[in-house]
Structure 1
Amino acid sequence: MTATDAPPLVPAAEPGTADLRVAVLGVGLMGADHVARLHRRVSGARVAAVSDAATDRADQVAAEVPGCRVVPDPLAAVADPEIDAVVVASPGRFHEEQVLACIDRGIPVLCEKPLTLEAASSLAVVRAEDAYAARTGGRLVQVGFMRRFDPEYAQLRELIASGGIGEPLVVHCAHRNPAVPPGVTTESVVNDSVVHEVDVARFLLGEEIAAVTVLRPRSTRHAAEELSDPLLVLLETTGGRVVDVEVFVSTGLAYEVRTEVVGEDGSAMIGIPQGLVRQSAGPGGAVRGTTVPAGFRERFATAYDLELQRWVDAARRGTVDGPGAWDGYAAQAVCAAGVEALLCGRRTEVRMEQR
């Protein structure tokens, strides 16, 4: 189910108040999905402007939203007095400049991951927002780690916090894609795929990641020649816990994301396919199974709904309700260590500044 065919969310905005006027920067796959979701699924906001280097694409997306303008220059969209908040879904190399422009203007911004492409530039965003907070007492930046809003992940975190499985000891993660576009490299798999498990580990365990080890098993014949696939990534936390991540981005099957937490008094797993279980005849006899999501937008449709709605509600209150700039920086610092570990073949400690 996508943003365009799901039933509307329950209205969350207070009646009689003006909608938040949102500019969406970048309307590729993710940005266009955000536009559709804000237009059809989220209350209390409207898409007032879009910006994209591909003007034909921007025109097409804007035409689907009454009253939406195309602003070719993304920084002009940020500076527009008729814009109240911004969603940054542009390529990562533009994030730093666009997010800093939002902080300078003092308007809320939801930035798709990565916050920026390097840990140092992400830290610069943290420092800029810290300076804004020191002047005003407010925060502006939210980073698009949507899994935190997924009901299963939220339930798992609550179970851990309640002590329902005792102290967590080990976390097992699987992140599998059917395929990836041409040009994806092993390093980009760490930065674009493993980064979600990095944030999940921090979210579930409530502690930082101290070191990363990356192992390269035998690669599948389905992977591009320059791609090591799958990878096994070991994350060591500051509390002595270990998170293992299997990331396999060219399975040729479907989109699978699973997380299991093993504790002193039990274990819990999420991401197991649920819903209708079908039994039918197959070549080798009866087949029993369920449907696995085809892609990340289907698997995390509810998470995206909740993420956008809570961002809008918080922005209208002048707050942030989700992962912030520091979470974006922490993830980049861990991924930088992960890429270093991948290239050198050794355990690599994460280098993070103090807040």
Structure 2
Amino acid sequence: MAQRGTRGTLGVAVIGTGRMGADHVRRIQEVTSGARVTAVVDIDAERAKAVAARVDGCTAYTDPAVAMAAADVDAVLVASPGPAHEAALLAAFARDLPVLCEKPLTPDAASALRVLEAERQLGRRRVQVGFMRRYDAEYMKLEQLLRTGQLGRPLLLHHRHRNVASPSGWTSDMLINDSVVHEMDVTRWLLGQEITAVTVLRPTPSVNAPDGLQDPQFVLFETDGGAVADVEIFVNCGFGYQVRAEVVCERGTARVGDGHAMVTHMAGRWGGTIAQDYLERFASAYDREVQAWVDATRRGEVTGPGAWDGYAAAAVCEAGVRALTEGGRVGVDLEERPALYR
């Protein structure tokens, strides 16, 4: 199946047509080269039809497996809610279709392991997980700098992750599972180390946080390379969307995310603008991520963060939620890394 896309334009089925899925449909049609959306899938049939109607030659479905069986589908982009990911991924594996799966790979470590084992049985990687920060220009430069060794060994990594306001219905656990999960992946990627333990500190909640929501939180990671990373997660800061990282090494430091692309001076003031959500802040990263996936798929390859990264993030999330609810330091239990992901 994967070789069909190498003969021409890649036909992509987008599963999930909510905000993220609809944005990916737009991206593939308007920004990405070498691919087009041939199918969209949503349990809400009318929403799927509305999205499909905006794309020539696109068919709406309510069943992912039926969409994947279509002759014009060469690859799958999964943007449905996390609990639906495992079934969609296993259906894609059954047809040997390459997949770009938005995070989380699955909502928990046990189901992520099932996906990982199913992919391992295929004998080749099929999944790229949507940790888009790896495709952000600033983060890419930081990772490249660390790989040169010019700064020496990384000792500390400081993350700041702020949102204007939390979505309706958010829980304290979701700050870990839906927000800090990005810092988990970035920490592993930048340092080239696995996270071995998590501690979560609970400052007095902000008056802007909904009742019962522990916001902000301060999360500490320990790694198997002896580094320590911290995350300030504050999802009701009120002023904008900010993501920053600073690495402290033996011979210097490096920081990304200051957002000073343009500074204005006018009317007795100086300043700039602050992004208001993740789609604005990481628009270019999403574009670069999807293009990289399409290019690799057309070559018959799978690159970028994979099923092991999705599983590792799920395991760290589980430790993080335990640390939040039970207190104290919680170790991360990881299975042995299979040869396919080394």
Q: Which residue of 2 aligns with 1:246?
A: 232
1:116 to 106, 117, 139: 106
- SS, match of residue 245 in structure 1: strand
Q: Does 1:151 align with 2:137?
A: yes
Q: Which residue of 1 aligns with 2:191?
A: 205
Q: Which residue of 1 aligns with 2:3?
A: none
CA distance in 1, matches of 2:119, 2:63: 23
Q: Does 1:30 align with 2:34?
A: no
CA distance in 2, matches of 1:337, 1:75: 33
Whichever residue aligns with residue 176 of structure 1, its letter is: R
CA distance in 1, matches of 2:69, 2:80: 17
CA distance in 1, matches of 2:168, 2:9: 40
TM superposition shift of 1:184: 0.3
CA distance in 1, matches of 2:238, 2:327: 27
Q: Does 1:260 align with 2:253?
A: no
CA distance in 1, matches of 2:153, 2:188: 15
* TM score, norm. by length of structure 2: 0.95
CA distance in 2, matches of 1:329, 1:28: 24
What residue ranges of structure 1 are gaps of 5+ in the alignment?
1-15
Q: Which residue of 1 aligns with 2:340?
A: none
CA distance in 1, matches of 2:43, 2:166: 23
What is the aligned residue count?
Answer: 332
CA distance in 2, matches of 1:195, 1:87: 20
TM superposition shift of 1:279: 2.3
CA distance in 2, matches of 1:99, 1:297: 24
2:169 to 157, 168, 183: 183
Q: Which residue of 2 aligns with 1:56?
A: 46
Q: Does 1:219 align with 2:209?
A: no
CA distance in 2, matches of 1:53, 1:215: 39
Q: Does 1:77 align with 2:63?
A: no
Identical aligned residues as a percent:
55
Whichever residue aligns with residue 326 of structure 1, its letter is: W
- SS, match of residue 61 in structure 1: helix
Q: Which residue of 2 aligns with 1:317?
A: 299
Q: Does 1:172 align with 2:172?
A: no
TM superposition shift of 1:57: 1.6
CA RMSD of superposed structures (Å):
1.1
CA distance in 2, matches of 1:276, 1:211: 39
CA distance in 1, matches of 2:106, 2:70: 23
- SS, match of residue 96 in structure 1: helix
TM superposition shift of 1:275: 2.1
CA distance in 2, matches of 1:200, 1:37: 24
CA distance in 1, matches of 2:21, 2:150: 38
TM superposition shift of 1:17: 4.1
What residue ranges of structure 2 are gaps of 5+ in the alignment?
1-5, 338-342
